[in-house]
């Protein structure tokens, strides 16, 4: 599932392509909103809230979408061939005189009043990349269920919004604990650092694909060279710290990567 920084990048592309322009084509290919027509409305903005995308239009309407595992928004110039997938995978088309935005494989797509956006995203915890970021509330949320594995707590968007499986694995490695350690067993200082490091990493990567070294020290950048991740996607490859082979296990249909030497705690 895309991380919060990836969704933010998608929102930025949508905003650059559509904001301030009048829609010439509006096609929502989901049964509930198939007859909705936004043609003639000006696109006000596209923004992200955690992993949710909110595209706002004049007249007080918002198109809410979520990418989940396979969804994507692609931007095309007039006359450019659409290459994001088969035609039957298209769920939304928003076009202006200058660009066309095509939503592929969107599992969540709904049109709602802008004043009702909280019905779609009000459950989210503090947004790591949002203007209302609140680390104290995020920490309280994270520690609210002490018996919960830290990996699950980090991924729960109700605690803090924006962390996906990649960052979860990388954060646990940096904290030197496995994803299955009960979050209540973390020393308070470590839990606090976990929240601040999550913020640091997402901010460092908000304008580019996830690269763990950009949010750390110059010494680490020199030590790990061009490696993009400490553990994620590196199963059976040597740990960058200790050279022990990285392990992987499925947790809730998602792969969890960890180093059995550098990270302490229970395993899958």
Annotated catalytic sites, by residue? 2-3, 51, 254
What does the angle CA 20 – CA 86 – CA 91 come to, to the nearest 5 degrees? Answer: 45
**E strands, 31-182, in order:** 43-49, 52-57, 61-66, 72-76, 90-95, 100-104, 108-113
Q: What is 151-219 written as a DSSP string?
A: HHHHH-TTTSBS--HHHHHHHHHHHTB-TTSBGGGS-HHHHHHHHHHHHHHHHHTTTSS--GGGGS-HH
- What three-state secondary structure class fits 61? strand
Angle between helices 188-204 and 135-142 (to 10 degrees): 120
β-bridge partners, 69: none
Residue in the block written with tokens 């007249």: 59
CB-based contact 129:162 (threshold 8 Å): yes
CB atoms within 10 A of CB 176: 14
CB-based contact 101:14 (threshold 8 Å): yes
């Amino acid at each position: 599932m895309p991380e919060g920084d990836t969704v933010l990048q998608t929102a930025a592309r949508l905003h650059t392509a559509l904001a301030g322009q009048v829609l010439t084509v509006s096609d929502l290919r989901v049964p509930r909103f198939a007859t909705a027509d936004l043609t003639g409305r000006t696109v006000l903005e596209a923004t992200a809230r955690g992993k949710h995308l909110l595209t706002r239009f004049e007249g007080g309407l918002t198109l809410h979408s979520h990418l989940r595992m396979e969804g994507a928004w692609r931007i095309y110039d007039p006359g450019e061939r659409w290459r994001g997938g088969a035609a039957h995978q298209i769920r939304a088309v928003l076009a202006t005189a200058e660009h066309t935005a095509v939503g592929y494989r969107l599992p969540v797509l709904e049109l709602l009043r802008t004043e009702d956006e909280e019905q779609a995203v009000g459950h989210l915890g503090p947004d790591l990349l949002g203007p209302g970021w609140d680390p104290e509330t995020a920490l309280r949320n994270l520690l609210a269920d002490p018996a919960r594995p830290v990996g699950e707590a980090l991924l729960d968007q109700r605690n803090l919004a924006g962390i996906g499986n990649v960052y979860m694995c990388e954060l646990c490695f940096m904290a030197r604990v496995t994803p299955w350690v009960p979050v209540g067993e973390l020393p308070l200082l470590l839990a606090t650092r976990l929240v601040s490091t999550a913020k640091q990493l997402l901010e460092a990567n908000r304008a580019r694909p996830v690269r763990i070294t950009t949010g750390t020290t110059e010494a680490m950048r020199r030590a790990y060279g061009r490696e993009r991740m400490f553990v994620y996607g590196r199963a059976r490859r040597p740990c960058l710290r200790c050279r022990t082979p990285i392990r992987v296990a499925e947790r809730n249909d998602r792969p969890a990567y960890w180093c059995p030497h550098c990270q302490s705690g229970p395993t899958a």
